[in-house]
Structure 1
Amino acid sequence: MTEHRRTDTRHAEAPAGQAREHSLRIERLNFAYGDTPILRGIDLHVREGEFLALLGPSGSGKSTLLRLIAGLESPTAGRLDASGRPVSGPGTDRAVVFQHYALFPWMTVVDNVAEAVAKAHPRLPRSERRARALKQLERVGLGEVGGNHPFELSGGMQQRAAIARALALESPFLLMDEPFGALDPINRAKLQDLLIEVWQGSTPRRTVVFVTHDVDEALLLADRIAVMGATPGRIIAEHSVPFARPRQRAALFKDAGFHRLREEIAEALDADTLAHLEAA
Structure 2
Amino acid sequence: MTHAGHSLRIERLKFAYGDATILDGIDLSVHEGEFLALLGPSGSGKSTLLRLIAGLEAPTAGLVSAGGRPVAGPGTDRAVVFQHYALFPWMTVVDNVAEAVAKAHPTLSRGERRERAQAQLARVGLGEVGRHHPFELSGGMQQRAAIARALALESPFLLMDEPFGALDPINRARLQDLLVEVWRGSSPRRTVVFVTHDVDEALLLADRVAVMGANPGRVIAEYPVAFDRPRQRAALFKDAGFHHLREEIADALDADTLAHLEAA
Scaled by the length of structure 2, the TM-score of the pair is 0.98
2:112 to 124, 128, 139: 128
For the 8 Å contact 1:22–1:172, the answer to whether it is kept is no
Equivalent in the alignment of 1:93:
77
The one-letter code sitting in structure 1 at the alignment partner of 2:167 is: L
Q: For 1:92-171, what aligned pairs fall within 5 Å after superposition?
A: 92-171=76-155
The question of whether the paired residues in 1 share the 8 Å contact of 2:209 and 2:225 is answered with yes
> How far did 1:22 drift?
7.0
The equivalent residue for 2:35 is 51
State the match for 1:224 in structure 2: 208
Residue 271 (str. 1) matches residue 246 (str. 2)? no
Matched with 1:80 is 64
Q: For 1:168 and 1:21, how far apart are their aligned partners in 2?
A: 25
Q: Secondary structure at the match of 1:182?
A: coil
Q: Distance in 2 between matches of 1:22 and 1:259?
A: 30
SS of residue paired to 1:231: coil
Instruction: Output the CA distance in 2 between the equivalents of 1:180 and 1:152.
Output: 19
- Report whether the alignment pairs 1:23 with 2:7: yes
Divergent runs of 4+, >2 A: none
Q: Confirm or deny that 1:250 pairs with 2:234.
A: yes
Report deviation, 1:231. 0.5
Secondary structure at the aligned position of 2:220 is classed as strand
Q: Using the alignment, how far apart are the partners of 1:189 and 1:246 within structure 2? A: 14
Distance in 1, matches of 2:74 and 2:258, equals 37
* Distance (whole Å) between structure 1 residues aligned to residue 189 and residue 18 of structure 2: 38
Residue in structure 2 matched with residue 176 of structure 1 by the alignment: 160
Q: Say if 2:10 and 2:29, in contact at 8 Å, map to a contact too.
A: yes
Q: Identity of paired residues, percent?
A: 86
The answer to whether the Cα contact below 8 Å between 2:6 and 2:29 also exists between their aligned partners in 1 is no
Amino acid of the structure 1 residue aligned with 2:246: R
Structure 2 Cα separation of the partners of residues 48 and 217 of structure 1: 21
Is 1:212 matched with 2:196?
A: yes
After superposition, give the CA deviation of every residue in 1:78-110 in whole Å (9 maximum; x if it has no partner).
111100000000000000000000000000000
1:233 to 190, 205, 217: 217
Q: How far apart are the structure 2 equivalents of 1:277 and 1:250?
A: 37
Number of residue pairs matched? 261
Alignment RMSD (CA, Å): 0.9
Please tell me whether the aligned partners of residues 71 and 91 of structure 1 are also in contact (alpha carbons under 8 angstroms): yes
Q: Is the 8 A contact 1:92 1:119 kept in 2?
A: yes
For 1:269 and 1:192, the matched residues in 2 are separated by 24
1-structure distance, mates of 2:6, 2:108: 25
Q: Is the 8 A contact 2:200 2:246 kept in 1?
A: yes
Where does structure 1 lack aligned partners over 5 or more consecutive residues? Answer: 1-19
The question of whether the paired residues in 2 share the 8 Å contact of 1:66 and 1:211 is answered with: yes
Shift of 1:230: 0.2
- Secondary structure at 2:203's aligned position in 1? helix
Counterpart secondary structure, 1:217: helix
Residue 279 (structure 1) shift: 1.2
Q: Is the 8 A contact 1:21 1:83 kept in 2?
A: no
| 8 Å CA contact retained: 2:78, 2:158 | yes
